[in-house]
Structure 1
Amino acid sequence: MPQIVEFPERPYVGVRRTITMTTFGLVADRIGEIIGWLAERGQAPAGAPFLRYETIDMANDRLVVQAGVPVAEPMAAEGDLFADTLPAGRYAATTHHGHPDGLFEVITQLLKWGEEQGLTFDRTDKDGTEHWGCRLELFMTDPRAEPDMNNWDTDLQFRLA
């Protein structure tokens, strides 16, 4: 069951890519690289790695997505990595247990629940493209510890306006 959760600002290191529904690996596969980059600098992740959706244009199969890893304190990044902060605020949140292919249905349910609750998401729509203030999929399961994708947990956190 979805709920509303208050989160503080959360610093992270990330990378941004423009992708399609079939090229998610171009951004998602960078998470391990970011974790390794942090380890080389003596830093451990301060939370679950995530994908942050900036824009979604399904009609043209174009998404701008970040892969990010939370850090304890803001830090400088290099190369195509950048440092940023997830905004503080109220988020509609829920958890999906199972294969990532099931996320679409859970996302649809979360958006419908928000509408039924009279909530307004931190999102604007322009020319058929959704622009999100902060829409997250957090990977709660380490695939090295649990390789069966049917046993993965993914948290969804969509910031409210």
Structure 2
Amino acid sequence: MDIIEAPAVVTKAARPYLGIRVVTPFKGMFAVRDELMKELYAYGDGILLFRLHVVDMAGPMDIEVGLLPDHPAGPGPVAAGPAEDRGRVRAGVRPAGRYATMTYVNHGRRAHGMLIDWIRAADLEPDVTETPAGDRFGCRYEAYLTDPRTERMKTRWQIELAIRLAD
């Protein structure tokens, strides 16, 4: 794993996006993510957001793939205004707040573990609730800073990982 930006706490504003939310087993989850990414690109350019609403590595994962309207390649229809529901594609909001973040390349599982360990070591509290379905996060996501349409090698993608902290 290459760390592009070391873990830090940053404040983020609320951001609208278009997304598709599904429940899927962890095994095969990334294939589902990839299909949802392709589907969302029909709505324009943007930074892809892979949001983990409920994490249960042994059971179903509640995930969402979203499209934020500000990809360096230029604005698309998503950037034209507030996100609106479009059938299976729904309006969503990345909530405002303080986030523990880091940017990395390759080895997502290691990056997630590293950021969670950093949060604990810094005596910070993530916005997470343990439920019977798994850990429900106020907001935990990966933002794909590399456009997957131009770089097919997932091991080369620059990814911002963020976990919202409790108030």
Pairwise TM-score range, normalised by the shorter structure = 0.7 to 0.9
Question: Deviation per CA, 1:5-61, whole angstroms, max 9, x where unpaired?
Answer: 11101000000111112222224321222121x23xxxx42xx211111101223x2
1:144 aligned to 134, 145, 149, which one? 149
* Offset of residue 97 of structure 1: 1.1
Matched, 1:87 2:95: yes
Please state if 1:12 is matched with 2:17. yes
> Would the aligned equivalents of 2:54 and 2:135 in 1 still touch at CA under 8 Å?
yes
Choose which of 28, 34, 48 in structure 2 pairs with 1:28.
34
Question: d(CA) in 1 for partners of 2:12 and 2:50?
Answer: 17
Residue 128 of structure 1 deviates from its aligned partner by 6.5
Instruction: Specify every segment of 5 or more residues in structure 1 that has no aligned partner in the other structure, as ranges.
Output: none
> Under a length normalisation based on structure 1, what TM-score does the superposition of the two structures give?
0.86
Structure-2-length-normalised TM-score: 0.83
Change (3 A) 1:4 1:81: same
Cα deviation 1:77-126 (Å, max 9, x = unaligned): 2211100111001100001112xxx1111111100110111100010112
Name the CA distance, whole Å, in 2 between partners of 1:76 and 1:128.
29
Partner of residue 73, structure 2: none
Q: How many residues align?
A: 150
Cα separation, 2, equivalents of 1:12 and 1:129: 25
Counterparts of 1:95 and 1:111 in 2: how far apart (Å)?
14
The AA in structure 1 aligned to 2:53 is E
* Equivalent in the alignment of 1:134: 139
